[in-house]
Structure 1
Amino acid sequence: MLRPRALIPSVTVGLVLGAVACNLTPDATTDSNGDDTAASTDTTDTTGDEPTTSGPTTDSPPTTTSPATTDEPETSTSTTSPDTTEGPTSETDTTGPDVGEVSIYDIQGGEVPENSVVTVKGVVITSPARVNNKGEGTMFVQDPMGGELSGIAVFLTPEVAMGFGAKPGLVVDITAQYTEFFGESQLKVTAVDDLVQVGEGEPPAPVVVPAADVATGGAKAEAYEGVLVQVENVTVTNPAVDMSDFEVDGALRINDFFLFPQMEKPVVVNGQVFTSIAGPLRFSFEDHKIAPRAAADLVVDAVPPAEEYTIYEIQEGMVAAQTPVLVKGAIVTSPLTFKKDGFFIQDAMGGEYSGIYVYVGANAVAVEPGDIVDVEGVYDEYYDNSQIEVSDAMKVTVTGMGAAPAPEIVDAADVTAGGPLQEQYEGVLVTVENVTVAAVNAMFGEYELTDGLFVDDLFFAKADWVLPMLADTFTSLTGPLAFSFEEAKLSPRSPADIVE
């Protein structure tokens, strides 16, 4: 399965505010909550055990760590992404010689020894200050003359980040230590008095550059590191390089360093065209990447229309993740989840690879088992669970009505995580027979069968969900099969699906 990046499409650049919770899920944040600081390899301030973006997840704590971003150090197991622009790994204030006043051009041109204490005057702030969960900040500044070698990252200790209201357009004098943090040039400011506003105006216009020139290894990537740049008329070639980056023409990465703390996410699907993308050019974990400062830095030209696919084609790997899809004539096999944020559909032919989850989020959709529907959305892998993400209730159209298909009878051992048929029956309505309870987790409202298959309360209110006792047996359990936090989970739709 592909690594997930749950983004909900719209015609214009949208903001995805993270917000999906299933009945089974404690809320949490799993994107690149950029504790991207050099001073930290600790975990993110998550608010729960699971992501909140979408999908039929469960209330159980994850059995493994969440997928990490490429902006995360190898020593970290968290969902945060320590950023290479935010200072050294300790704050010992070790400095080199005080070389006095220099220009950013001098620093980026290699004329200043690393670890020197320098003063740059009259430079313009080109980005907001991105503050991590330790209070450390990162912003970018630029010489007003612009051009190559004119920009640099500035790391702010918590005292400075709190004491100085950084915003684009402010003209400042800076006294700082010049360092190279994992290949990215930066100025480390440790005292409030060392960052002084001397004027205010407009930030410089970004330099328009070819995408390939500023991509990793590009002809101008080093020259424009730290500079506010812009690429134009680029097409998305990989919508999910990792949890914090996507890629456009020329193998140029676009990073959510500033967007994520603002809870802003651009619309990103395969083949989407951006009229322009602007932001400072960062160097982070061996890659150059543009970091848009806000949603306005990404201007959408066109989102490709959905093409018709069958559920079989999607589930058998014939469709790339983050592709707009249209599935016609599918049968609804479940009611809406207890939180009303999704349901399951299945191809009328049934069998392996015939089912998939439809995530609708806060959109008010009315469907019942047996409804025949057309569904338009974006196919994605949400933590390895296949789903179609719907951005508008109008994208789910009921075209007929009939009976829900009969469940496929399977062996529990075959569809448990790692079982020989687990992938094939993901999203499909199944029945397991003559099963025994091996463990019960009351906190998360689920229980495990002796064959390793989990059963959870996706369609039940907590008060209506009756947990069995250890060693209880069931004649049969029926429900759609999903995958969440490394476990296959069957979700009964009503008490009728639970036969003792």
Structure 2
Amino acid sequence: MYRALLVTSLALLTACPVIPKDDASDGVDDTGDSGDDTGGGGDGITIAEAKALGEGANVTLSGVIVTSPLTYKADGFFIQTPGGGENNGLYVFLPAGAEGLFFEVGDEMEVTGELVDFYGWTELTVSDVSAIQITGSGEVTVDSVDPSSVTDWEVWESSLISIGGDEVTSDIDSYGAVTLASGLAMDNVFFNYSTELGATYTNVIGQLGYSFETWGLYPRTEADLQGYVAGEGSAPVPISDIQTGVVADGSSATVEGAVVTSALTPDGLSKGFFVADAAGPNNGVYVYLGNSWSGTVPKLGDEVTIKGSVDEYYDLTELVAKDITVTGTAAVPAPTELTEAPADWEPYEGVEVSLIDVSLGDEGSYGEVETNFGLNLDDLFTNVSSYANQDYATVTGHVFYGFETYKVVPDSTDDFVK
């Protein structure tokens, strides 16, 4: 959910001028301020006073304290007026990026920018990192807030707050967010945490943000998730429920007892592997890891439990992994034999199939090879171009979908049998 929030339209990215500090010793106003600009703020004002000036005001905030690292997109961070309190937190947005900016949580800084209302969230947009100066260090304040006493979260917008005794009341969605018993969301703006339905915390600390008309806590590190007690999580589902839409796109899903049926794809946009919990149509799915995956990477024949979310990625059904546990090894389900092309390849998506009596044609675009089954072989795992214009008793591979067409992706040379 936060990804969309940070994609600010160009209309909102108006660069604000850096306001120079006035050297009062020369008797000249170096700021260029004639004194009749009612839209700006000067040195020494609090964040609350700056927010009161409203959208479009150019302000310089001195002595503010950094309360967070950069977001995972590295285009923003949070600050507070020393001592914190209501209306004294602010998100600093860096449309030009943070290259050349180095700071730590607890640094004191001076920052100049323009106040922008981004879909109900007040941000301080700065033109570039030259508008930010580190001036020292200070103490970060965490405000303890009782949700039952809050009538309007607006006063805590962008503040670093602590909520005691919270519980996860939803599965993780496809964007990595959950809802909490406090009524807030919890989102992975800074890092990808692991949690599950029913998990409880003695204390959750985070920056309070606003996205898609929802207030949410953004924990900064694992240390902000205190006193974690695991919950029961969502009930396991068969892969067929994922492939037939019983589990909706974007929903969390746990699959138990599935067997890894392929190697790991090479590094790239489609890094992942296939699993199945039975042979036949609708019983296989592609598990997407991505290149930033740092968890368990299973191998062919491993039996696994996978917690993740369902994602229809350009009409390819994927299980986006959040957590993988290898529980043992098991026999790989036998490939489904096909003597001719089915009326619809959709039920075979993610399933390992063996094409019988295969005639391969010419090599096409992007390393693909034509077949007499009305779909191409693809080189997701291994180069297939050397098999062009030959006949085979069987060709085995997983059914994949990309660029609006189905393909079969063999694992290795062993999948081509004369």
TM value normalised by structure 1: 0.61
Question: Are 2:172 and 1:239 equivalent residues in the alignment?
Answer: yes
Query: Matched residue of 1:237: which SS?
Result: coil
Question: Are 2:149 and 1:207 equivalent residues in the alignment?
Answer: no
Question: Are 2:205 and 1:278 equivalent residues in the alignment?
Answer: yes
Any unmatched runs of 5+ in structure 2?
19-36
CA-CA distance at 1:203 after TM superposition: 0.7
Question: Are 2:388 and 1:468 equivalent residues in the alignment?
Answer: yes
CA distance in 2, matches of 1:234, 1:148: 24
Larger Rg: 2
CA contact (8 A) 2:171 2:234 kept: no
Identity over aligned residues, as a percent?
Answer: 25
CA distance in 2, matches of 1:170, 1:224: 21
Q: C-alpha offsets along residues 323-358 of structure 1, whole Å, 9 cap, x if unaligned?
A: 33322xx677x45356596454342xx443333456
Q: C-alpha offsets along residues 218-250 of structure 1, whole Å, 9 cap, x if unaligned?
A: x3221111211233422051412x536443345
CA contact (8 A) 1:274 1:301 kept: yes
Question: Are 2:108 and 1:171 equivalent residues in the alignment?
Answer: yes
CA-CA distance at 1:91 after TM superposition: 1.9
In the alignment of these two chains, the number of paired residues is: 384
1:301 is aligned, of 223, 229, 232, to 229
2:369 maps to what in 1?
447
2:88 is aligned, of 145, 150, 154, to 150
CA-CA distance at 1:191 after TM superposition: 7.8
Question: Are 2:48 and 1:105 equivalent residues in the alignment?
Answer: yes
Q: C-alpha offsets along residues 126-183 of structure 1, whole Å, 9 cap, x if unaligned?
A: 12244967xxx52222223422212122345759x55654332223444543333443
CA contact (8 A) 1:144 1:204 kept: yes
CA distance in 2, matches of 1:406, 1:162: 50
CA gap of 1:188–1:331, structure 2 versus 1, over 3 A, is: closer
Greater CA deviation, 429-438 or 280-289?
429-438
CA-CA distance at 1:268 after TM superposition: 4.0
Question: Are 2:276 and 1:345 equivalent residues in the alignment?
Answer: yes
CA contact (8 A) 1:306 1:377 kept: no
Q: C-alpha offsets along residues 72-123 of structure 1, whole Å, 9 cap, x if unaligned?
A: 37xxxxxxx5258x99323264986444353322333x3x243233344433
1:323 is aligned, of 229, 248, 253, to 253
Query: Matched residue of 2:396: which SS?
Result: strand
CA distance in 2, matches of 1:428, 1:106: 60
TM value normalised by structure 2: 0.71
CA distance in 2, matches of 1:276, 1:343: 38
Question: Are 2:305 and 1:376 equivalent residues in the alignment?
Answer: yes
1:89 is aligned, of 13, 37, 40, to 13
CA contact (8 A) 1:140 1:153 kept: yes
CA distance in 2, matches of 1:234, 1:129: 26
CA distance in 2, matches of 1:442, 1:142: 55
Query: Matched residue of 1:489: which SS?
Result: strand
Question: Are 2:403 and 1:479 equivalent residues in the alignment?
Answer: no
1:353-432 equivalences under 5 Å are 353-357=282-286, 363=296, 365=298, 367=300, 374-381=303-310, 383=313, 384-387=316-319, 389=321, 391=323, 395-398=326-329, 405=334, 407-409=336-338, 411-412=340-341, 414=343, 419=344, 421-422=345-346, 424-432=347-355
CA distance in 1, matches of 2:417, 2:288: 28
CA distance in 1, matches of 2:94, 2:195: 31
User: 2:141 is matched by which residue type in structure 1?
Assistant: P
1:227 maps to what in 2?
159
Query: Matched residue of 1:381: which SS?
Result: strand
Any unmatched runs of 5+ in structure 1?
1-68, 74-80, 214-218
Query: Matched residue of 2:7: which SS?
Result: coil
User: 1:446 is matched by which residue type in structure 2?
Assistant: E
CA gap of 1:316–1:274, structure 2 versus 1, over 3 A, is: farther
1:177-192 equivalences under 5 Å are 177-190=114-127
1:256 maps to what in 2?
188
Query: Matched residue of 2:65: which SS?
Result: strand
Over the aligned positions, Cα root-mean-square deviation in angstroms equals 4.4
CA distance in 1, matches of 2:236, 2:176: 29
